[in-house]
């Protein structure tokens, strides 16, 4: 018993010390909590791996010329240190670097659950009051990674089961989703929603709905997928809490009908499980992880929708708006940093800039600005500092020139992800605006996924495009 008590006291002591240390760092403006968000295939894992790699290996690769602390010679070093939250999985930086260091390098494994990594960044202060106290200062950077699909569940916190069902029905009955969903909707329509259904039949129905969501993700390239944990269940794989479906026919039922329904009926079981999912999973996720962010980067893959068509772009725009609704934005000051932190800077990054020629990078940036324009206007009204960039977290192609019909064209050279073939191509032009339907009929955008270029040692900085500008925007004001 004494041993157990000593263990509990030791754990409590660690938690109190960690909390006190974090509060001190936040009061001195020496702590940044960065949320890395984005949807599936946007490159979150590669981004975090490269960001950490650039900081811990600064000076051993491409210089971070636009990162002022480095440019001015005030950056001393960075290292990984134990993360403060011991209940969150550690971001597996070593595994990612190991894959990139293989003889035939591979991309790091994609995000499957929440993870975190902490860095201590040592620098020489210049303009802040810290320079009067010490020759050197340390900024603690917490980087938190989430599956983008989980983020899309957060708006469910404002919806009851009927409201959520109506929203899902609106999506399911619109193209391009309806062509895939028609058979599922007919099957639900044939079920008596008020009579006893049974858990087994509901589980089978939920499995069909999950398969539908996976088709939307992988075949149509759509972004708005709810519930997100249906396709990335994590530790809840197979649990009844992930076995419910939207009910599209509430307009056919009265309140009295629903009140008198069997407790094992479709509407009653789905309602109960939806509420449990919303409160126990989504609500807990929000309360534990979304109240302490200072900075945010939203990664977006704008190239895949160019291949998948105009509806994919509309879906991407809607998904980003849903994600941003769930974060707390507003100017930060010392009291807010201690007691009610707000996100005061947000970076929108169009990823995979190395998959197009360099002359198309500005178009990528402008295109993403078109996608986020509605959300950006709201943030501008609140005085949030924002920036939009096209980036490549880990550059996997080489730029070059080639002659075609007597003209010199910019081209890319890289190794295809699907068959390891080294190819040279011009992938096409990126529109600077949201493309009209005519774009997809008149233009062929040859988007090809590439493998990492060459093996990189763990002590060598990874090749990148504009990560120094990312660091400057997100951290530059904290390293003065």
pLDDT score, position 220: 87
- The token pair that represents 391 in the structure block: 């980036």
Look up residue 221 and give its two tokens.
């390239």
Q: What is the pLDDT of residue 462?
A: 94
Cα–Cα distances in angstroms (integers) from residue 370 to residues 50, 143, 387, 398, 443, in the given order: 27, 27, 13, 28, 19
With beta carbons less than 8 A apart as the criterion, state whether 467 and 391 touch: yes
Output the pLDDT for position 3.
46
Mode of pairing for the β-strands spanning 345-350 and 137-145: unpaired
DSSP state of 57: T
Taking phi first (over 0 means left), then psi (-120 to 50 degrees means alpha), and beta for anything else, what does residue 111 get?
beta
User: Does an H or E element contain 169, and which?
Assistant: helix 161-172
Cis peptide before 176 (omega within 30 of 0): yes
Nearest to 283 by CA among 169, 150, 162, 167: 150
**What span, in angstroms and rounded, lies between the C-alpha atoms of 98 and 84?**
25
Q: What is the pLDDT of residue 100?
A: 94
Q: Which CATH number fits domain 25-151+289-397+455-479: 3.40.190.10, 3.40.50.12780, 3.40.50.300, 3.40.640.10?
A: 3.40.50.300
Closest of 343, 335, 413, 334 to residue 375, by C-alpha: 343
According to the model, what pLDDT value does residue 392 have?
96
- pLDDT, residue 385, reads 86
Report the alpha-carbon distance of residue 81 to residue 143 in Å, rounded. 12
* Cβ(371)–Cβ(410) below 8 Å: no
- For the four alpha carbons of 155, 275, 237 and 209, in that order, the dihedral sign comes to negative
| Angle between the N-to-C axes of helices 467-475 and 44-56, in degrees from 0 to 180, rounded to the nearest 10 | 80
β-strand partners of 349: 299, 389
Q: What is the DSSP track for 95-111?
A: HHHHHHTSSS--PPPPP
Query: pLDDT per position in the chain (480 positions), as tens?
Result: 444 455 555 545 444 444 544 544 444 458 999 989 887 778 999 999 999 999 999 877 778 999 999 999 999 999 999 988 888 889 999 999 999 999 899 999 887 788 999 999 999 998 655 555 567 899 999 999 887 778 888 889 889 999 999 999 999 999 999 999 999 999 999 999 999 998 999 999 999 999 999 999 888 888 899 999 999 887 888 899 999 999 999 999 999 999 999 999 999 999 999 999 999 999 888 877 776 788 989 999 988 887 777 788 788 888 887 877 766 655 655 555 444 557 888 899 999 999 999 999 999 999 998 888 877 776 766 677 889 999 999 999 999 988 777 788 899 999 998 888 999 988 888 888 878 777 777 766 677 889 998 888 888 999 999 999 999 999 999 998
Contacts 24+ apart (CB under 8 A), 109-112: 109/45, 110/40, 110/41, 110/44, 110/45, 111/44, 111/45, 111/145, 111/146, 111/147, 111/148, 112/147, 112/232, 112/234
pTM, whole model, 2 decimals?
0.85
Report residue 221 CA to chain centroid gap: 16
CA of 423: how far to CAs of 391, 410, 456, in Å?
22, 14, 21
Q: What is the pLDDT of residue 120?
A: 96
Give the Cα separation of 338 and 23 in Å (integer).
6
**Residue labelled with tokens 């010490």:** 134
**How wide is the angle at C-alpha 275 spanned by C-alphas 269 and 278, nearest 5°?**
135
Q: Where are the domains of the chain?
A: 25-151+289-397+455-479, 159-286
User: DSSP H helical segments within 347-477, as ranges?
Assistant: 361-371, 373-381, 437-442, 467-475
| Burial (CB count <10 Å: 0-12, 13-18, 19+), residue 240 | middle
Q: How many residues does the chain have?
A: 480
- CB distance 191 to 197 below 8 Å: yes
């Amino acid at each position: 018993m004494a041993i157990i008590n000593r263990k509990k006291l030791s754990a409590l002591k660690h938690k109190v010390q960690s909390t006190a240390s974090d509060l001190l760092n936040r009061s001195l403006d020496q702590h940044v909590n960065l949320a890395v968000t984005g949807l599936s295939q946007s490159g979150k894992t590669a981004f975090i791996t490269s960001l950490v790699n650039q900081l811990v290996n600064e000076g051993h690769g491409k210089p971070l010329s636009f990162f002022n602390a480095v440019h001015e010679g005030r950056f001393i070093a960075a290292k990984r240190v134990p993360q403060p939250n011991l209940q969150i999985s550690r971001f597996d930086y070593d595994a990612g670097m190991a894959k990139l260091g293989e003889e035939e390098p591979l991309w790091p494994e994609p995000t499957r659950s929440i993870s975190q990594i902490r860095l201590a960044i040592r620098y020489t202060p210049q303009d802040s009051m810290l320079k009067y106290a010490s020759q050197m200062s340390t900024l603690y950077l917490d980087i938190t990674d989430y599956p983008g699909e989980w983020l899309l569940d957060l708006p469910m916190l404002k919806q009851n089961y009927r409201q959520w069902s109506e929203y899902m029905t609106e999506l399911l009955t619109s193209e391009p989703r309806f062509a895939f969903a028609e058979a599922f909707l007919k099957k639900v329509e044939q079920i008596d929603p008020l009579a006893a259904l049974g858990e087994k039949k509901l589980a089978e129905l939920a499995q069909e709905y999950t398969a539908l969501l996976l088709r939307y993700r992988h075949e149509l390239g759509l972004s708005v997928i709810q519930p997100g944990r249906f396709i990335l269940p994590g530790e809840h794989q197979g649990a009844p809490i992930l076995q419910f479906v939207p009910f599209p026919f509430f307009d056919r039922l009265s309140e009295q009908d629903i009140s008198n329904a069997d407790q094992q009926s479709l509407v009653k079981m789905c309602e109960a499980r939806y509420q449990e999912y919303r409160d126990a999973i989504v609500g807990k996720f929000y309360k534990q992880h979304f109240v302490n962010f200072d900075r945010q980067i939203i990664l977006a893959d704008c190239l895949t929708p160019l291949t998948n068509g105009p509806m994919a772009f509309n879906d991407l725009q809607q998904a980003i708006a849903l994600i941003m609704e769930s974060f707390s934005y507003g100017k930060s000051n010392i009291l807010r940093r201690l007691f009610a932190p707000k996100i005061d800077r947000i970076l929108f990054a169009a990823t995979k800039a190395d998959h197009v020629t360099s002359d198309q990078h500005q178009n990528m940036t402008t295109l993403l600005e078109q996608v986020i324009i509605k959300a950006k206007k709201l943030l501008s009204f609140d005085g949030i500092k924002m920036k939009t960039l096209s980036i490549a977290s880990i550059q996997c192609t080489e730029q070059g020139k080639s002659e075609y019909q007597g003209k010199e064209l910019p081209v890319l050279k890289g190794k295809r992800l699907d068959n390891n073939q080294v190819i040279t191509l011009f992938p096409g032009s990126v529109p600077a605006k949201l493309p009209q339907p005519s774009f997809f009929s008149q233009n062929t955008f040859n988007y090809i996924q590439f493998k990492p270029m060459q093996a990189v040692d763990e002590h060598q900085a990874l090749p990148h495009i504009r990560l120094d500008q990312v660091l400057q925007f997100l951290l530059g004001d904290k390293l003065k």
